[in-house]
């Protein structure tokens, strides 16, 4: 478990690296000759995504396991990596946190006995194709199955990256009609895949159509583009997005190595246009099951005006069991944050109950014991305090 005495020391190298990332230039790997205006063109990044082992070998020295996995997993869950995200990888270290999130390994072929095809019961709560209506007042609205980078830990592996299952115009209209016909829906999470793979015009039209539904109060855009393709957020796009307020962006940074000047520019651009951005980190073994890394990440996010919102326990999706960290790791991270840094840097740690039970918060134990007249608590330093029960 977390030891407060060693916290300061453990933070130092990670914080130093984040400071360098934010102040310095992002690495460009084999694309150092590419002019800035080309590198920062999201269409160029999309067109030049790495899809094969040969592509990737220009950037990293692949292990035998990675090479075999790229061949073996392609039919189930494709590989695609933007040059921007690939250049963040350590070319020599297969345990690099960016590399682990984007490059397949053979462990993805293992299906644990507890794995589920649809871990969050999203299909079970699907009244029409492309809508999950699980909670009373909000829906998930899937608008695409494409993403700039296919994250190896994706919870929707069963659909994402499969072009045959993508939403067509008819399905999108059916989703809008469902939302319009259900006045209890006041909050719509536009998700996928990554909705930012739609064109500016389609996104604008979609958000405009949602805004025309009187009972839709809040729209949330769930996107990992700030992490994997921050160039996608151009001034022109963000200006159009900001017309659909109240609009919230939920993104998914997992490690300080993803905290680059480009990502900072993207988050600040959204904040400058009045778009609230929140981060939903997924706890991943070997990637970010480390209090110092999470603390550094959250501090960086706050500096860009992005709120650390959730830490998700990895769900029971098939082929991601190698990423699942024990629950004690998540609790140790929370314990390392609470009291040791500002409350704004402490997200909710939740487990999305298998089968569609919804989010259940997990919190470290601070109550030492309940007596008849008092409760004895333990504070963040492990010191005991009493409070009367009445
Ligand atoms: S961006 Fe989101 S939906 Fe797309 S692969 Fe990554 S986790 Fe899955």
Q: From the alpha carbon of 224, which atom of ligand 1 is closest?
A: 1
Which of 119, 147, 283, 317 to mutate for ligand 1's pocket (most ligand atoms within 8 Å of CB)?
147
pLDDT in tens, the chain (390 residues): 444 444 443 444 454 454 444 445 688 999 999 999 999 999 999 999 999 999 999 999 999 999 999 999 998 899 999 999 999 999 999 999 999 999 999 999 998 888 888 887 777 889 999 999 999 999 999 999 999 999 999 998 887 877 666 677 789 999 999 999 999 999 999 998 999 999 999 999 999 999 999 999 999 999 999 999 999 999 999 999 999 999 999 999 999 999 999 999 999 999 999 999 999 999 999 999 999 999 999 999 999 999 999 999 999 989 999 999 999 999 999 999 999 999 999 999 999 988 888 899 999 999 999 999 999 999 999 999 999 998
Domains and CATH numbers, the chain: 19-109 (no CATH), 131-365 (3.20.20.70)
* CA–CA separation, 360 and 348 (whole Å): 10
Q: Which is nearest to 203 in space by CA: 190, 216, 187?
A: 190
Q: Which residues line ligand 1 (CB under 6 A)?
A: 147, 150-151, 154, 156, 160, 192-194, 224
Kindly name the residue from 240, 359, 374, 378 that is annotated as catalytic. Answer: 359
CB 378 within 8 A of CB 368: yes
CB 309 within 8 A of CB 272: no
- List all residues 6 or more positions away from 43 whose beta carbon is below 8 Å from its beta carbon: none
Q: Which is nearest to 361 in space by CA: 327, 323, 326, 324?
A: 327
Query: H or E segment at 236?
Result: helix 235-241
**Would you call the peptide bond into 193 cis, given omega within 30 degrees of 0 as the criterion?**
yes
């Amino acid at each position: 478990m977390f030891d407060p005495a060693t916290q300061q020391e453990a933070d130092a190298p990670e914080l130093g690296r984040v400071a360098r990332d934010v102040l310095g230039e992002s690495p460009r790997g084999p694309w150092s000759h590419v002019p800035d205006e080309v590198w920062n063109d999201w269409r160029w990044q999309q067109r030049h995504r790495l899809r094969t082992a040969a592509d990737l070998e220009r950037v990293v020295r692949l292990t035998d396991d990675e090479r075999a996995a790229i061949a073996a997993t392609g039919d189930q869950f494709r590989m695609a990596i933007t040059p921007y995200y690939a250049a963040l990888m350590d070319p020599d270290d297969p345990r690099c946190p960016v590399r682990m999130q984007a490059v397949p390994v053979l462990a993805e072929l293992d299906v644990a006995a507890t794995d589920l095809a649809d871990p969050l019961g999203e299909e079970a709560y699907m009244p029409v194709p492309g809508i999950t209506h699980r909670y009373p007042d909000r829906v998930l609205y899937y608008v695409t199955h494409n993403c700039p980078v296919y994250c190896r830990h994706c919870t929707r592996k069963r659909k994402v990256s499969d072009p045959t299952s993508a939403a067509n115009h008819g399905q999108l209209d059916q989703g809008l009609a469902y939302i319009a016909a259900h006045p209890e829906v006041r909050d719509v999470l536009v998700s996928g895949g990554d909705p930012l793979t739609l064109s500016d015009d389609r996104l604008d039209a979609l958000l405009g159509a949602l805004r025309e539904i009187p009972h839709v109060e809040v729209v949330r855009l769930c996107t990992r583009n700030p992490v994997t393709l921050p160039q996608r957020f151009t001034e022109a796009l963000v200006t159009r997005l900001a017309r659909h307020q109240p609009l919230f962006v939920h993104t998914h940074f997992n490690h300080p190595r993803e905290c680059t000047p480009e990502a900072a520019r993207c988050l600040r651009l959204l904040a400058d246009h009045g778009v609230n951005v929140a981060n939903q980190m997924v706890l991943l073994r070997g990637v970010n099951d480390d209090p110092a890394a999470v603390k550094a990440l959250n501090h960086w996010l706050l500096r860009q005006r992005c709120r650390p919102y959730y830490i998700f326990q990895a769900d029971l999706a098939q082929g991601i069991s190698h990423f699942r960290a024990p629950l004690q790791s998540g609790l140790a991270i929370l314990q390392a944050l609470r009291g040791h840094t500002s409350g704004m840097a402490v997200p909710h740690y939740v487990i999305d109950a298998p089968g569609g039970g919804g989010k259940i918060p997990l919190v470290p134990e601070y109550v030492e014991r309940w007596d008849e007249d008092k409760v004895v608590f333990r504070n963040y330093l492990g010191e005991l305090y009493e409070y009367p029960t009445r």
